[in-house]
Amino acid sequence: MTFLVYLYKPEKRESIVNILLVHSYKGGSGKTTISLNGARSLAEEKKVLLIEADFKMPSFSHLFSSRNVSCYFNDYLNGTNKLTETIDRVTLHDENVHLIYANPKFVPKDKIHSSKRSWFITMRDNLFEDLKHLDYDIVIFDLGPGVNFFTLAILTVANGLLDVVRPDFQSFRGIEFLIENFYKKAISSTNVKFNIVFNQVPSHPKMTTLLNEWIQKLKIRHNGISNIWKLDYDDEVAYRSAIQEIILPKGNSVMLKLNKIFRSLV
């Protein structure tokens, strides 16, 4: 990928921690569903930390409301808590996944909401340094949708990027917007694995042809995309989310595909 770095050039990396980002242009595409189930899947073989970095639409606290969490990623970013103090060690279908939650309350003075651009660069370096000292193989960020400085900063240290796209026209154009206007400003090297997943694909008979046309267009217009995946709209996934059960059974077809997607990213 011939991405230009003119905004935030990170120091040379020494870490063995693999940083994986789950992002999208719009909200509701399936980032949280995909991040949590992907983290659970990778945790079968690796030590995985999943950080909720969707500060404007936080959902981990709602999904894991039975957990007793009092300390959030926001508190670490504010400088009031150590990163280790914000970690919740949960077991998701027999696998140990460590979670960090975004604050479910909006606190305007939180640094994430009130800081200037330069703060994000320092934050990125401190966070990266702290992550290096923790014992994780993979750190996944469930990011907020669209463009923001947190995502821009963290993109510069990522090893993998999974962009989740619902198959509607705005989202298709949205992914092109992100590539042209956002990712190219931050992704620093050719070794970032950039994957796209069309999620919640309906079973309409004309959908497959349309998606294949879009996939062709994306591949022709943007070099550097490693893989483009499709995940069907799945009634079981949708129903489970209504009853607060976001972790999918191991045999679910979306889950089986996520196993493949996440293994290809690390």
Ligand X SMILES: Nc1ncnc2c1ncn2[C@@H]1O[C@H](COP(=O)(O)OP(=O)(O)O)[C@@H](O)[C@H]1O
Q: By CB under 6 A, name the binding residues for ligand X.
A: 24, 27-33, 199-200, 231, 233-234, 237-238, 241, 254
Q: Which does 98 bind (CB under 5 to 8 A by kind): Mg ion, ligand X, none?
A: none
Q: Which does 33 bind (CB under 5 to 8 A by kind): Mg ion, ligand X, none?
A: ligand X
CB of 219 to ligand X, least distance (A): 23
Nearer to ligand X, 33 or 103 (CB): 33
CB of 24 to ligand X, least distance (A): 6
CB of 248 to ligand X, least distance (A): 9
Q: Which does 255 bind (CB under 5 to 8 A by kind): Mg ion, ligand X, none?
A: none
Q: Is residue 199 involved in binding Mg ion (CB under 5 A)?
A: no
Nearer to ligand X, 30 or 38 (CB): 30
Number of neighbouring beta carbons within 10 Å of residue 93: 15
Measured CA distances, 65 to 141, 184, 203 (Å):
20, 37, 33
Kindly identify the residues of this chain, within the stretch 116-175, that bind Mg ion according to CB under 5 A: none
> 143, 144, 148, 154: which is closest to 121 by C-alpha?
154
| Strand-pair category, 87-92 with 95-100 | antiparallel
CB of 257 to ligand X, least distance (A): 9
Burial of 117 (0-12, 13-18, 19+ CB in 10 A): exposed
Kindly identify the residues of this chain, within the stretch 21-50, that bind Mg ion according to CB under 5 A: 31-32
Nearer to Mg ion, 32 or 37 (CB): 32
CB-closest chain residue to ligand X: 241
CB of 215 to ligand X, least distance (A): 17
| Sign of the C-alpha dihedral computed for residues 38, 40, 41 and 44 taken in this order | positive
Q: Tell me how far apart the terminal alpha carbons of the chain are, to the nearest angstrom.
A: 18
Structural contact between residues 30 and 142, judged by C-beta atoms closer than 8 angstroms: no
- φ/ψ of 168, rounded to 5, equals -120, 160
Nearer to ligand X, 29 or 41 (CB): 29
Strands (E), the chain: 18-23, 48-53, 87-92, 95-100, 138-143, 160-165, 193-201, 225-232
